[in-house]
Structure 1
Amino acid sequence: MVEMATQFKQGCFKAAFIFLTCLISMAAQSQTLLSNAPKGALVITQSDWHSQNTQYLANPASLMKIFTATLATEVLGENYRFKTELAYEEKTLNQGRLTGPLTLTLTGDPSFTQKDLHALLMTLAKAGVKKLDKVEIDASRYQGHAWSLGQVWNDHGICFAAPTSAAMINRNCVFGNLKATEPEQLAHFYLTPNSPLTVENQVVTLATNQAESCQVLLKVLGANHYRLTGCLDEKRKTLPLGFSANEANAFFKHILMQELALLGFGSEIEVSFIDQAPSWLVDNDKSVKRITHYSAPLTKLVARMLQRSDNLVADALFKASGHQYVLSENAGAASFKALDAYQKGSLALMSLLDKNQIDSQGLVVRDGSGLSRENLLYATSLYQVLELWLSHPKFAWLVEALPIAAQSGTLKNRESLKHDMLKGRVLAKSGSMQGVVNLAGFVQVTDEAKGLKLRPFVFMVNQFSKSKAVKPAKFSVEELALFKFETGFLTQGFGP
C-alpha cells in the first residue's frame, strides 16, 4: 500500500509538472505574440488559445458580412431569391398594343443585369405585347438613403461603393479606363458606349520625372455626372476605372429606355416611377399577366459576398432582411414602417443576436457591408456568432462558404496566410479599410479523438498606421510586422 501511495504521488507530481510546463510555455508564447504587436495599433484577439483587449469596440470593416450572412440565413432562408417582375392587365391589351401601364416591380436584386432585363422584355413580346404607351417602375421597397450613415463621402461614384436601392442593374456600375499619351497632353479616356453616366476627362499625362505625386481625382458634378482631374505618369499603360451611379433610378431608367427602343416597343413611351404598387396588382387579380425573373438562391449570393467581399450583395441582403423582418414581426406598426432600410436591417440583426444570447449591448450597426466608418463591434460578439455557425445546423453551410487560406477568395493571396501550417487550414473573412486590418473565422486542426475540428477566432487591428514601402519592397515595415503578428497568432491555434 505504501509503495502504491508513493507511485500515485509521483504520478500526480509528474502530471502537475507537465501541466505547469504547458502553462508556462503557453504564457511565453502569448508574451512573445504580444511583443510583436504593431506599434500604436489597437489589437484585439478572441479565441480559445489567446484573447486580449476584448473589452474594446472596434471597426469591423468587412467582418460585418459575417453578421449579414447569419441574418440573411435566419430571416430570408437558404432558398430566398430576389424577384423582378413585369405585370399588366390583360384587358388593356388590344391587337398587340398595351394601352394600360406595364408595371415593372424592382426589389433590389444585386445580380440583375441588362441581359436579364432584355430577356424579360423578349418574353413580354412573345406573349403578344408589341407596343407600349406607358411603363411604371415600382422601386418603392426601401426608404431612406442608398448609402449608409458614416460611409466615406468620396467613395460615392466609385464602383465598390455603388448605391444599394430597389433599382439595381449591372451592379449600378459602368467601367472604363485611362491610358497615358504624350506628356502635357490629355490622357486617353474610354467609357463603355451608351453609358448612363456622363464623365468629363481633364486628366493630363506628365513625364515620369514630374509625376511622382500624380493621382486621379473624381468630382461629382450632378446626377450621374462626374469629372476626372489630376495627372497620369507617361509610363502608366492603362488605369482601369469603375464608376457607380449616384442616382440609381435615373441609371435604371436610361438602360430600360435603351432596351425598349432596341426591341421596338415604341419611341415615345412614357416611363415614370411610382410610390406604391397599383391596386390592380396588389389585389392579385387573375386577369393580371406576370413575367418574372428570379435571382440565384441565397446560398449562391452569400458565397459571392463572402468570397469576393461583395459590398453590393451584402447591403442588398441586409436591406432585404430588414424589410422581411419588419413585415413578419411588426406588420402594421407605423413606427417601424417609418424606419429607413438600413435601420430595419439593424433592428433585425439586434433581434437575432438577442434571440441567441449574443451580446449586442453597445454595438453600432450602420450597414451590412462594413463600408460605414461608424460600425462598431465587440470581438466577443463576432466570436459568439461563429460559435453559432458550429452549434446550429441552420448556419453550418456558411462555414464552407468562407474563403480558404492560399486557395480561394480574398484569402488566396493574403501574405500572412502563406505559412505552410496555415495553407488550406484557415477558413475566414477578411476586413480592411484605412487603418483597419481584420480577420475572423476558423482554424482547422486535427483532434485525436474527433478528427478534424474547427476553432473559431477573431483578429481585429484598428488604428493601424503604415509608412510608404520603399522600392523594390512590396510592403512597408509596419505591414511586414503585422503579417508576422497575424501569422503567429493563427499558428498558435494549432497548439494546445
Structure 2
Amino acid sequence: MFATLRLLFTCATGLLSLNCFAYAPLDHLPSGSRVSIAIEPLNSETPYLTTSNREQFFPPASTLKIVTALASKLALGDEFQFKTELQSNQRDLVIRFSGDPTLTRDHLKQLLQQAKQQGISHVRGDIWLDNSAFTGYERAIGWPWDIIGVCYSAPSSAITLDENCVQASIYSNDNGTTRVYTPEHFPIYVTTAAKTVSKQQQESTRCDLELQVSPDNHYQLQGCLVERSKPLPLRFAVQDPSLYTQRTLHSLLTQLDIKLDGNIRIGSPTQNHFQSVATHYSVKLPELLQTMLRKSDNLIADNLTKTLGAQHFALPGSYGNGTQAIKEVILQHTGIDLARNKITDGSGLSRNNRFTSEDMASILRYIWQHDEQLGLIALMPSSGENGTLKYRTSMRKAPIKGQLIAKSGSVYGSYNMAGFGLDKNGKPSTLFIQFVADYLPMKKGDGKPTIAPISQFEQLFYQDVIKFSQLKPKK
C-alpha cells in the first residue's frame, strides 16, 4: 500500500542528513488514503521531511480556523467586540444585532432591564429585531443536510442567541416507548416516536436514533434508543434563530412586566430618530479567538467571517464576501496569495473547502514570525492539555503531551492537524502539517478494542515532529 505516495515522499537535508525513504508511519493508514505531510524548521524553509504533493488540494476542515483567526486579527484588531444595542424613538424599540455568537438570553434580559430602569415599561409601538448586519445563507454551501440538527452546525445569523443551540434529553421507557424533556425557557418543540430497544435488538435491526427538523424549530426523534437507566443528553441547532429570539423576547417581556401594544417584528424599521438606551458588548477579539481555536467553535468562526466581509466591503456580511475578504486581507497584509484555494466558510465545516498544505505552512510561518504582534500561538490548543487536543488518543501521553501547539480538523474521511512543535524550552521551533483525506478504515467484527489506524499513524508522526523540534543546533 501507498506505493505511489512513497515514490512521492522526499526527505530534505536539514539539521539531520537523511536519505529518501518509505515513511513507515504511513503503513498504518488504510489503502486508498491520501496524505500530505510536512515538518519544517521555523528558522529555515528547507523541510526536514515532506511529501511532494504540497500543491494538491485537501479538505482543511477546522484547520481553516487558523486562517480565519489570522484574517480577523489583521483586519478587526484586538479591541474588536460584537455590539448589540437597544434603541428607542419614544414609541418603538429596535434591537440592533451584529451576529454576536456569545449573546445569551441573560444578556438580552439585561438590555430590557436597563430600558425599564430608564422608564420604558410600556412599548406603545413595535419591537424590531434588526437582522441587517448579515445577508444571504445562514448555512454555507457544502454543509451536509444530515448534520443541520446538531449544534456544531448551528446557523450563522445576525440575530444569534444562546449560541443558536438548545438542550433537551430523551428517556427510555419500560413499555418500549421514549419520552423527551426540554427546559421550559427554550421556545422549541420536541416530540419523539422513537422506540426503546435492547442492544441486541438495535444491532440486529440496525435501527438508530434519528432526528427530523423543521424550519419552525420543531424537532422529532425517530428510530430506536437503546434502553438506558439515565437520560441521553441532546443538543439541537436552532433552525430559525429569528423565531427563537422572537419567542424568547416575548417570554422576557412577560417576566419583566414590560407591556407591548404592537408586535415583535424581524427587520430594520424605516423610522429614524432612534436613540441608544442600552448596549451589550461581547468579550474582545483575543478571547473570542481563544474559544474559537481551542473549542473549535464553528459559530464564532463563521460570524467573524461574515463580519470581515461586512467591514471589508462596507456591505452586509455574507459567506461570499466574508471568504473573499479573508483572502484579500491576508494578501494585503502578508503577501500570501490564497486565490487558488477554495474557501466556502470560515469554520471549515463545508465539504467544499479545499486547501494546500503548502499554503497552510505559509500561514503558520507568518503567524510565528509575527507572534509578538499577533499573539495567536498562545490561543491555540496544546497537545493533551487543553481544548480539542486534551483527550485526543494520540496526544494524551508522553512524549507527545504538552509538546505540540496545533489546530485539529476533521470532516468525513479527513483527519488533519496544523501547528507547531516545541523545543526543549517550550518554544515553537518547527511547523508541521498533517492532511489525511479519504481515510476509510474497515471495521473489525470481532468486537475487540483496537487502536484506530489514524491514532497509530499520528503517534509516530508526532514523535517525529517532536524529535525534529528538539534537535540540538549545530555549533
Q: Number of residue pairs matched?
A: 447
Secondary structure at the residue paired with 1:417? coil
What residue in structure 1 maps to residue 162 of structure 2? Answer: 170
Match of 1:466 among 441, 448, 452: 441
Aligned with 2:398 (options 397, 420, 423): 420
Residue 305 of structure 1: how far off its partner (Å): 0.6
Residue 59 of structure 1 is matched in structure 2 by: 59
- Quick one: distance in 2 between partners of 1:277 and 1:385? 44
C-alpha separation between the residues in 2 aligned to 1:495 and 1:171? Answer: 41
Post-superposition CA distance 1:244-266 (Å, at most 9, x none): 22111111101011101111111
**Structure 1 contact 419–487 (Cα < 8 Å) conserved:** no
CA distance in 2, matches of 1:44, 1:473: 31
- Counterpart position of 1:331: none
Residue 180 of structure 2 corresponds to which residue in structure 1?
189
Task: Show CA shifts across 1:107-161 (max 9, x none).
Answer: 0000000001111111111111111122111111111010001011121121111
Indicate the residue corresponding to 2:468 in structure 1.
493
1:439 and 2:413 equivalent? no
> Percent identity among equivalent residues?
28
Per the alignment, residue 332 of structure 1 pairs with none
In structure 2, the CA distance between the partners of 1:369 and 1:276, relative to structure 1 (3 Å rule), is farther
State whether structure 2 residue 240 is matched by structure 1 residue 263: no
8 A Cα contact 2:403 2:466, kept in partner: no
2: distance between equivalents of 1:215 and 1:171? 27
Superposition deviation, residue 473 in structure 1? 4.5
CA 270–422 in structure 1, closer or farther in 2 if over 3 Å, else same: same
CA RMSD after TM alignment? 2.4
Which residue, 96, 100, 105 being the options, matches 1:109? 100
Instruction: After TM superposition, give the deviation of residue 435 of structure 1 in Å.
Output: 0.4
Aligned pair partner of 1:148 in 140, 145, 153: 140
Tell me, in whole angstroms, the C-alpha distance in 2 between the residues paired with 1:325 and 1:47: 34
- Structure 2: unaligned runs, 5 residues or longer: 1-12, 41-47
2:282 — aligned with what?
Answer: 295
State whether structure 2 residue 460 is matched by structure 1 residue 482. Answer: no
Work out whether 1:246 is the aligned partner of 2:239: yes
CA contact 2:85–2:276 (8 Å) conserved in 1: no
Q: CA deviation at 1:75?
A: 1.2
SS in structure 2 of the partner of residue 349 of structure 1: helix
Matches within 5 A, 1:370-385: 370-385=348-363
Structure 2 residue corresponding to 1:311, chosen from 298, 314, 331? 298
Within 5 Å, which residues of 2 pair with 1:69-108? 69-89=69-89, 92=90, 100-108=91-99
Aligned mates of 1:144, 1:433 — CA distance in 2: 24
Q: 1:121 to 1:477 in 2, by over 3 A?
A: closer
**318-327 vs 292-301, greater mean Cα deviation:** 318-327
Q: Aligned-pair distance for 1:488?
A: 4.5
Tell me if 1:41 matches 2:33.
Answer: yes
Higher helix residue share:
1
Question: Deviations for 1:303-361, whole angstroms, at most 9, x for unmatched residues?
Answer: 0011111111111111111111112xxxxxxxxx4x86111111111112322222313
Q: Partners in 2 of 1:358 and 1:21 — Cα distance?
A: 27
Given the alignment of the two structures, is residue 220 of structure 1 paired with residue 213 of structure 2, yes or no? yes
Superposed CA deviations along residues 426-474 of structure 1, whole A, max 9, x for unmatched, are 0000001210100011000148xxx844311111101101233657655
Farther-moved stretch of structure 1 (410-419 vs 68-77):
410-419
Distance 2:15 2:382 in 1: 34
Within 5 Å, which residues of 2 pair with 1:330-369? 337=315, 341-355=318-332, 356-369=334-347
Pick closer, same or farther for the CA change 1:31–1:486 going to 2, 3 Å. closer
- CA displacement at 1:223 relative to structure 2: 2.0
- Give the partner amino acid of 2:280: H
CA contact (8 A) 1:403 1:427 kept: yes
Question: TM-score, normalised on structure 2?
Answer: 0.88
Aligned mates of 1:156, 1:64 — CA distance in 2 = 20
From 118, 139, 153, the equivalent of 1:127 is 118
Distance in 2 (alpha carbons) for counterparts of 1:186 and 1:126: 49
CA distance in structure 2 between the partners assigned to 1:393 and 1:420 by the alignment: 27
Is 1:454 the counterpart of 2:447? The answer is no
Residue 302 of structure 2 aligns to a residue whose secondary structure is: helix
The one-letter code of the counterpart of 1:361 is A
Does the residue aligned with 1:483 lie in a helix, a strand or coil? helix
**CA distance in structure 2 between the aligned counterparts of 1:375 and 1:456, rounded to whole angstroms:** 22
Contact 2:142 2:351 in 1 (8 A): yes
Contact 1:106 1:137 in 2 (8 A): yes
Distance 1:215 1:485 in 2: 35
Question: Deviation per CA, 1:29-62, whole angstroms, max 9, x where unpaired?
Answer: x633444454211111133222112121000111
2:10 is aligned to none
Give 1:138's aligned residue.
Answer: 130
Q: Which residue of 2 aligns with 1:333?
A: none
User: What is the match of residue 388 of structure 1?
Assistant: 366
Deviation, 1:485, is: 4.5
- 2:422–2:470 contact (8 Å) kept in structure 1: no
- 1:325 match: 312
Gap runs ≥5 in structure 1: 1-18, 93-99, 282-287, 328-336
Distance change >3 Å, CA 490–CA 431, structure 1 → 2: same
Change (3 A) 1:120 1:439: same
The answer as to whether partners of 1:63 and 1:429 remain within 8 angstroms in 2 is yes
